[in-house]
Structure 1
Amino acid sequence: MSQTRPHTLFSFGTLMDPKVQTALFGRAVPSFPASLAGHTTRPLRITDPAVIAASGLDVHLILERRIGAVVEGAVLHLTDEELAAADAYEVDDYVRRRVVLSSGESAWAYLDAKPLRPAARIVIVGDSIAYGRCDPQGGWAAHLAAAHIAGNEVDHRVFNLAIPGSTLADVSEQTPPLLAPRRPDTILLAAGINDSAQPLSDPDADGLAHLADSLDSLAALAHGLGARLVVLGPVWLDEERTADYEGLRFTRARALALRASLRAWCEEHHVDYLDMWEPLSENPGLLVDGVHPTPEGHKELHRHLEAVGR
């Protein structure tokens, strides 16, 4: 097998087995003991016959977050081709994401494909929609917090740090000192439509132009905290009612451009993207002013978030 640029992959299950490695890679790959703090494992039933045949097991392990716990495993050193083979081996319940090992080393690991399912301590950052504006009950974020904490009142926490009017640049500048004390394992970045807005005072301004810089900064921040970054895309807007809103112009075309840019960045950087466009799409009755969801609109967003994230 040709040697290409090396990759480090943290394994805590069947990929540590030399027989599985030989079946997948044609050899037993270089491996070294390693551990992942802040995690534990739970069993996952496997139904893919090829994976069962390779591992000899129909129950594998999957990671979930737990403060104080440590998962022991190994770091595998893989070529491009071997990493692709590992991706193909893992079933759809897993996705490959970056983690920080106990040693401080960054490595790939296979995590739960539903990013909210293994979460314990969630921090929400974003704009007025994430803040819950126009809903006295606190919006979709409050519904998420209630459900999440009810699932495990001892260990689960949700902190909503969203600020109305924020862009991604604002979030990347304002929230870093607020995150560490809350010890997040999951950061929900609600990337609303403020980045797509065109200021009426400066029609040439383009908030989308610097989108990647803000996302890069927030991804590095999350990784440094050992947290999983989850990007939530913008919600549908009723352009006929947004008009010129508080000195800003919102258009559906710009919002769709933001949505596409976020999805593309997340795919390129192996970051979770949860699309939030469809729940309110073509349903203007679920929007107060064309931009902000009604209380029922926030419930729809929460139902959707639970379905795609958990």
Structure 2
Amino acid sequence: MTESRTHTLFSFGTLRDDRVQTALFGRAVPTSPAALAGYTTRPLKITDPAVIAASGLDVHLILERRLGASVEGAVLHLTDQELAAADAYEVDDYTRRRVVLSSGATTWAYLDAKPLRPADRIVVVGDSIAYGRCDPRGGWAGHLAAAHIAGNEAERRLFNLAVPGSTLADVGEQTPALLTARRPDTLLVAAGINDSAVPAAGTTARADADLAVHSGSGSVSGSDSDSDSDSDGTDDFARLTGSLDTLAATALGHNARLVVAGPSWLDEDRTRDYEGLRFTRARALALRAFLRAWCEANHIDFLDLWEPLRERTELLVDGLHPSAEGHRALYEHLDALGR
């Protein structure tokens, strides 16, 4: 029989109530005082009758980022089953993510399910699409920056540090040194499409070998269908796990929330070869499936950017990079998902 683990969960609201704990867990659970730096709270209207019945309240609080602020609460010590019960208790507006307490200890906490909505200071890292190539207005990140900062000019910031041509390994290596001065509460990673490239037809054996060394695998998997069932080959992207783990640790080290944006749709009939490499939908779909699975397994937010450009080849300049209108479509989709 598998022994239940003990989990710690930060609560600043109704989960500290003995009556709520008894209703959820069948007991009052061990707790200890704690504080969460870099956060404040705002009210959230609750409509779920079961949650209202358990707490006796139709307005709960939800965490929001605020530099210099702090939220007082308590750490609950829960078994596997009790943590699952706490997950079931929280309404869809909340999601469980890792945070760093004022003491320096890491713990679970329930945050806003829309990861960009509570953000104050966002750092974007990634590749040429995140950089905004083919859009003089700065691409989807430029639109996001304008809308985000307009909401609170005094407090909000967005730093776009994306570099064209970057792989996830590049981003994982370069990002740690860039964050301290910018004091982010949210790290938005939009990279990986360059990791999905395959040798173009007619390239030399050396190009094939270089790709195999870079990727850790010479195989090409998946098919040319937009169906997720055809996105086999996620194992080929297992080499990216180390870079993602590094980015997760880097974000947590700054008490920032990691958000991963998946690849956007591409028209491989129009994508040209780049330095002996080419991009295919099958590989992009396999990358998308891998990133989504990694995020789910690690309780990291995944924002899927595939659908806004799907079959809309007129919104792509070269089959891969969005036009200005394409970037606008990506921003509107990202805004709906994240804010």
TM-score category of the 2 structures, normalised to the smaller one = over 0.9
1:42 equivalent in structure 2:
42
Query: How many residues align structurally?
Result: 309
2:295 to 266, 272, 275: 266
Pairwise mapping of residues 130-141 of structure 1 onto structure 2 (< 5 A)?
130-141=130-141
2:8 equivalent in structure 1:
8
Pairwise mapping of residues 159-308 of structure 1 onto structure 2 (< 5 A)?
159-199=159-199, 200=203, 201-202=207-208, 205=212, 206=215, 208-308=237-337
Normalising to structure 2: TM-score of the pair? 0.89
Determine if contact 1:3/1:79 at 8 Å carries over to the other structure. Answer: no
2:143 equivalent in structure 1:
143
Q: Secondary structure at the match of 1:73?
A: strand
Query: Please, what is the CA RMSD of the aligned residues?
Result: 1.2
**Identity over aligned pairs, percent:** 77
1:19 equivalent in structure 2:
19
Q: Distance in 1 between matches of 2:151 and 2:38?
A: 19
Letter in 1 for 2:259: V
Letter in 2 for 1:268: A
Q: Secondary structure at the match of 2:71?
A: strand
Displacement of 1:176 after TM fit?
1.1
Displacement of 1:209 after TM fit?
3.9
Letter in 2 for 1:248: L
1:153 equivalent in structure 2:
153
* Deviations 1:92-134, CA, capped at 9 Å, x for gaps: 0000000000000000000000001000000000000000001
Letter in 2 for 1:55: S
Determine if contact 2:186/2:259 at 8 Å carries over to the other structure. Answer: yes
* Deviations 1:10-62, CA, capped at 9 Å, x for gaps: 00100000000000000000000000000000000000000000000000000
Letter in 2 for 1:180: T
* Deviations 1:212-239, CA, capped at 9 Å, x for gaps: 1110010000001100000000000001
Which 5+ residue runs of structure 2 have no aligned equivalent?
217-236
Determine if contact 2:272/2:318 at 8 Å carries over to the other structure. Answer: no
Greater displacement, 171-180 / 297-306:
171-180
Normalising to structure 1: TM-score of the pair? 0.98
Q: Secondary structure at the match of 2:33?
A: strand
1:119 equivalent in structure 2:
119
Determine if contact 1:11/1:75 at 8 Å carries over to the other structure. Answer: yes
Q: Distance in 2 between matches of 1:237 and 1:246?
A: 18
Letter in 1 for 2:208: D
Q: After the TM superposition, which segments of 4 or more aligned residues of structure 1 sit over 6 Å from their partners?
A: none
2:31 equivalent in structure 1:
31
Determine if contact 1:114/1:308 at 8 Å carries over to the other structure. Answer: yes
Q: Secondary structure at the match of 1:307?
A: helix
Q: Distance in 1 between matches of 2:68 and 2:3?
A: 38
Q: Distance in 2 between matches of 1:247 and 1:41?
A: 51
Q: Distance in 1 between matches of 2:78 and 2:327?
A: 44
Q: Distance in 1 between matches of 2:252 and 2:137?
A: 32
Letter in 2 for 1:29: V
Letter in 2 for 1:289: D
Q: Secondary structure at the match of 1:244?
A: coil
Q: Distance in 1 between matches of 2:289 and 2:196?
A: 12
1:92 equivalent in structure 2:
92
Q: Distance in 2 between matches of 1:42 and 1:247?
A: 52
Q: Secondary structure at the match of 1:107?
A: strand
Letter in 2 for 1:249: R
Displacement of 1:192 after TM fit?
4.0
Letter in 2 for 1:84: A
Displacement of 1:82 after TM fit?
0.1
2:80 equivalent in structure 1:
80
Q: Secondary structure at the match of 1:241?
A: coil
Letter in 1 for 2:143: H
